[in-house]
């Protein structure tokens, strides 16, 4: 079967397609929970900023109150692990980053969603699971399939995409037009453009993350995949230090050398801000920033930005990642939490959050006439999703440990000039191998 067909089949199996629904039951599914409170843990993030504007309507429609615990995204996992380790936790719904899904499931911290969707007293018959972008559903929601995190036999649903993303190239059309520069379509053109754009524009060529830990690894993966590399081979042996891995890191070093000041210490927020404030001519990262770019209250580049596909290396590839929603196992109000999750990710509310500057997770929104009129870049986003790779990073339970403690340190050392690209990646191999062996991988 082709991958898209596997995802579609998995969705039908997981979500109990064809279950009988009673209109009366569906109409009154909120009544039992009216007056209750759902506690939701979210990050400070543009998508969730937009989401919060929808919550009063949810309470008006359902009678269910929502209490939001918003924390810096860098503290999100630490706080969730503390809460989810308790016999009874404070969170009924939690936002997670894609790379945590395997760890949370391996530690038995989150609910499978199939029982909720199979419950006619809770499930919305108009939900239409097949409308969710398949790559987002697979990447953010499924655990237990091939490799432990892909669609296929054994895959179960533990979360839904909400704040999902792929990667595209945003660029200052006004700057490119003035300097008569061509938007890069390949990595060869991309590489050649960096010093030229830096010299001729007087601003950073490309903004990027560079901060030690996850941020630096995220930036490196943006180039590793299109150039044909991967973190492990098919036997889970590290291959990130091969010629392709080193070349991707050298490219990132060139990005830092030609980027805005301080780029080697940028997290996602700083990288975004540099582009929004006109300090960089290009942005290669998450589609989730598109709504902010178009907001005059938060962006100084409104009307000056165009979008293109992630440049092609040896293959066309774009990121899959972002944020999702899950229900902690120790939730006090799991069913009410599910109702909020289902409501937020419905067709109507997906369009609503998108029109407020959030990131769409449904095909119907990406193709909606009103949404495309407001965000014409959605045409490019739909094309980019054809190349989005669900195996962009190995989302195994120990990935976050490798990501933060090993590769995240090594890549930062290369970006700050402490080590060469070769020495940095070679030096990380023993630590990554040790982490994998401790986790039970026979390498």
* Interior/surface letters 302-338, b for 16+ CB within 10 angstroms, e for the rest: eeebbbbbbbbbeebbbbbbbbbbbbbebbbbbbbbb
pTM, rounded to two decimals: 0.91
Domain with CATH 3.40.190.10 in the chain: 3-164+320-385, 167-319+398-438
Summary mean pLDDT of the chain:
93
The fraction of the chain above a pLDDT of 70, given in percent, is 94
* pLDDT tens-digit map of 21-78: 333 444 589 999 999 999 999 999 999 999 999 999 999 999 999 999 999 998 999 9
- The token pair that represents 179 in the structure block: 């300097």
Is residue 46 exposed (0-12), middle (13-18) or buried (19+ Cβ within 10 Å)?
buried
**How far apart (Å, rounded) are the C-alpha atoms in residues 419 and 404?**
18
Task: Outline where 73-172 has alpha helix (H).
Answer: 76-84, 101-106, 114-117, 134-136
User: How does pLDDT run across 79-123, given as a tens digit for each residue?
Assistant: 999 999 999 999 999 999 999 999 999 999 999 999 999 999 999
Sheet holding 65-71, edge to edge: 65-71, 37-43, 93-97, 321-326, 160-165
Check if the beta carbon of residue 149 is closer than 8 Å to that of residue 365: no
Dihedral pair phi/psi, residue 77, rounded to 5°: -65, -45
DSSP one-letter code for 39: E
According to the model, what pLDDT value does residue 352 have? Answer: 98
Backbone angles phi, psi at 143, to 5 degrees: -140, 140
pLDDT band with cut points at 50, 70 and 90 for residue 5: very low
Phi, psi (deg, nearest 5) at residue 326: -140, 160
pLDDT digits (tens, 9 = 90+) for 351-393: 999 999 999 999 999 999 999 999 999 999 999 999 999 999 9
Contacts of 65 (CB under 8 A, 6+ apart): 35, 36, 37, 38, 59
Cα distances from 220 to residues 93, 175, 223, 240, in angstroms, run 31, 26, 6, 11
- Beta-carbon contacts of residue 237 (< 8 Å; ≥ 6 apart): 433, 443
Q: How far apart are CA 63 and CA 69, in angstroms?
A: 20
Q: Which CATH number fits domain 167-319+398-438: 3.40.50.150, 3.40.50.40, 3.40.190.10, 3.30.460.80?
A: 3.40.190.10
Fold of 3-164+320-385: D-Maltodextrin-Binding Protein; domain 2 (3.40.190)
């Amino acid at each position: 079967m082709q991958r898209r067909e596997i995802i579609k089949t998995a969705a039908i199996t997981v979500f109990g397609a064809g279950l009988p629904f009673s209109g009366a039951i569906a109409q009154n599914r909120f009544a039992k929970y009216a007056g209750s409170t759902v506690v939701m843990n979210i990050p400070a993030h543009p998508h969730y900023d937009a989401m919060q504007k929808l919550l009063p309507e949810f309470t008006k429609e359902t009678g269910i109150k929502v209490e939001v615990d918003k924390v810096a995204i860098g503290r999100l996992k630490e706080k969730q692990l503390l809460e989810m380790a308790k016999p009874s936790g404070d969170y009924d719904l939690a936002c997670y980053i894609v790379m945590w899904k395997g760890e949370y499931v391996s530690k038995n911290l989150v609910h499978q969603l199939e029982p909720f969707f199979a419950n006619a007293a809770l499930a919305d018959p108009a939900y239409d699971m097949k409308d969710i972008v398949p790559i987002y559903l697979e990447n953010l929601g499924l655990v237990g399939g091939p490799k432990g995190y892909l669609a296929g036999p054994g895959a179960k649903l533990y979360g839904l995409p909400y704040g999902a993303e792929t990667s595209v190239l945003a660029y200052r059309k006004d700057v490119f037009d003035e300097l008569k520069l061509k938007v890069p379509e390949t990595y060869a053109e991309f590489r050649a453009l960096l010093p030229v754009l830096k010299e001729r524009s007087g601003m950073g060529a490309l903004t990027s993350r560079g901060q030690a830990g996850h941020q630096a690894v995220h930036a490196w993966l943006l180039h590793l995949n299109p150039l044909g590399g991967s973190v492990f081979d098919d036997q889970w042996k590290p291959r990130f230090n091969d010629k392709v891995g080193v070349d991707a890191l050298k490219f990132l070093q060139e990005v830092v050398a030609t980027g805005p000041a301080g780029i080697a210490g940028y997290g996602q927020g700083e990288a975004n801000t540099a582009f929004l404030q006109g300090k960089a001519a290009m942005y290669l990262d998450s589609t989730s920033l598109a709504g902010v770019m178009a907001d005059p209250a938060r962006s100084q580049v409104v009307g000056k930005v165009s979008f293109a596909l992630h440049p092609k290396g040896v293959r066309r590839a774009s990121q899959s990642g972002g944020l999702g929603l899950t229900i902690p196992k120790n939730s006090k109000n799991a069913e009410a939490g599910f109702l909020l999750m289902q409501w937020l990710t419905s067709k109507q509310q997906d369009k609503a959050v998108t029109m407020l500057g959030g990131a769409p997770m449904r095909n119907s929104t990406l193709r909606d006439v009103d949404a495309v009129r407001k965000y014409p870049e959605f045409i490019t986003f739909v094309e980019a999703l054809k190349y989005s790779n669900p195996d962009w990073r190995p989302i195994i339970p120990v990935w976050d440990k490798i990501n933060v403690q090993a590769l995240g340190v090594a890549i930062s050392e290369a970006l700050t000039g402490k080590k060469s690209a070769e020495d940095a990646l070679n030096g990380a191999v023993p630590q990554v191998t040790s982490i994998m062996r401790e986790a039970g991988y026979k390498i």
